[in-house]
């Protein structure tokens, strides 16, 4: 028996962006101000003092973006397979079970049909709390299915990314999902259906290097980490400290990789506006008038 034992606090599974769910008051991770928790929640999980965007779940995102907070999920039956019998310090199958139990989801993405600003759309929303939103076969399959459904039903596709990249535990199969999804998006593009990519904190690795960067319009939430290589890897490579704000949304906007940085509270109206333009919903009235005129003459 040791006389002194270090009290180990249980490790928090995901980054520090999570909003503490215990207690009425909480300390903002960014500005360190003490804020009334409901005040943050009422503000779309954005700190009212400093605009820090806490990470939110895929379901909270859908609730916030879909008209009347309603959507119809599809392909929810698809689940992961440990086809490599992958084992590091823990078996992949154990990890899967653990995350499925914790999140109530089968894998790291939710696909749904819904309306946004009265425009029917197809959504794929990634869930960071499921293995860091990592992209394996299921994420690849579901986003490809979402793109194919968007093409078939001629509904715009919105993908909300939140992922550390490809899932190592599925090896090269995960890698190939990048090609699979990009190919499905190429078809969607040929069909003339809009694809809007929304990047949230974090979006890195193979997710950025495939669908997240392929939107007709790329939007990001403020302050999100977005990149291909992780900041630590880059620092090791160039043997320098990266400047503050490197690979954040604002940096990507400045370097021409994003169309807009959109605060979460304005995400829905912005998406609705963009979709109206891209789907021709704004010009339906005048063009009908022109057609009618031509019909008369």
Partner 1 sequence: MYRKAEEFEKPLREIEEQIAELRRYPESMQRDVRLERLEKKLAETRDDIYGNLSRWQTTLVARHPRRPYTLDYVAQICTDFVELHGDRLYRDDPAIVSGIAEFAGRSVAVVGQQKGRNTKQKLHRNFGMPNPEGYRKAMRIMQMAERFGMPILTFIDTPGAYPGSGAEERGVAESIAVSLREMARFEVPIIATVIGEGGSGGALAIGVGNRVNMFQHAVYSVISPESCSSILWRDPDHAEEAADALRLTAPDLVDLGLVDEVVPEPPGGAHTDPLAAGLGLREVLERQLNELGQKSAADLVEDRYQKFRAMGTIAAG
Distance from C-alpha of 226 to C-alpha of 217, rounded to nearest angstrom = 15
Pick 87 or 154: Cβ nearer partner 1: 87
Residue 141 touching partner 1 (CB under 8 A): yes
Q: How many residues bind partner 1 (CB under 8 A)?
A: 62
Distance from C-alpha of 193 to C-alpha of 189, rounded to nearest angstrom = 6
Q: Which of residues 154-173 bind partner 1 (CB under 8 A)?
A: 166-168, 170-173
Q: Which stretch binds partner 1 (CB under 8 A): 22-30, 38-46, 118-126, 209-217?
A: 209-217
Binding map of partner 1 across residues 22-61, x = CB under 8 A, - = no contact:
----------------------------------------
Q: Which of residues 60-89 bind partner 1 (CB under 8 A)?
A: 77-81, 83-84, 86-89
Closest CA to 142 of 155, 129, 160: 160
97 phi/psi in degrees, rounded to 5: -60, -45
36 phi/psi in degrees, rounded to 5: -70, 125
- Give me 230's structure tokens: 């992780």
Q: Examine residue 218 and say whether the peptide bond preceding it is cis (omega within 30 degrees of 0).
A: no
Q: Name which position in 14, 41, 50, 176 contacts partner 1 (CB under 8 A).
A: 176
Q: Name which position in 216, 257, 259, 276 contacts partner 1 (CB under 8 A).
A: 257
Beta-bridge partners for 18: 55
Residue 209 touching partner 1 (CB under 8 A): yes
97 CB contacts (<8 Å, ≥6 apart)? none
266 phi/psi in degrees, rounded to 5: -110, 5
- Contacts to partner 1 by CB under 8 A: 77-81, 83-84, 86-89, 136-138, 140-141, 144, 166-168, 170-180, 182-187, 189-190, 205-206, 208-214, 227-229, 233-234, 237-238, 240, 242, 246-247, 255-257
């Amino acid at each position: 028996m040791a006389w002194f034992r270090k009290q180990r606090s249980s490790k928090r599974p995901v980054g520090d962006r999570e909003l503490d769910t215990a207690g009425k008051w909480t300390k903002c991770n960014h500005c360190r101000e003490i804020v009334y928790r409901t005040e943050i929640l009422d503000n779309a999980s954005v700190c009212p003092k400093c605009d820090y965007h806490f990470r939110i779940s895929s379901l909270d995102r859908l609730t916030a973006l879909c008209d009347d907070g309603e959507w119809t999920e599809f392909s929810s039956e698809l689940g992961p397979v440990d086809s490599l019998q992958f084992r590091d310090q823990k078996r992949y199958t154990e990890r899967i079970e653990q995350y499925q139990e914790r999140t109530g989801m089968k894998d790291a993405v939710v696909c749904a049909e819904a309306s946004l600003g009265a425009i029917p759309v197809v959504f794929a929303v990634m869930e960071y709390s499921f293995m860091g939103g990592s992209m394996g076969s299921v994420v690849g399959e579901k986003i490809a299915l979402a793109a194919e459904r968007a093409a078939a039903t001629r509904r715009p596709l919105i993908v909300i990314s939140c992922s550390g990249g490809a899932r190592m535990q599925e090896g090269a199969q995960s890698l190939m999902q990048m090609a699979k999804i990009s190919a499905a998006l190429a078809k969607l593009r040929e069909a003339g259906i809009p694809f809007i990519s929304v990047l949230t904190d974090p979006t890195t690795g193979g997710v950025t290097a495939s669908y997240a960067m392929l939107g007709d319009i790329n939007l990001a939430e403020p302050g999100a980490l977005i990149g291909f290589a992780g900041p630590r890897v880059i620092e090791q490579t160039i043997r320098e400290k990266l400047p503050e704000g490197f690979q954040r949304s604002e940096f990507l906007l400045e370097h021409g990789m994003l169309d807009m940085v959109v605060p979460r509270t304005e995400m829905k109206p912005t998406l609705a506006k963009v979709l109206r333009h891209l789907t021709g919903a704004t010009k339906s009235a005048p063009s009908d008038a022109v057609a009618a005129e031509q019909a008369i003459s």
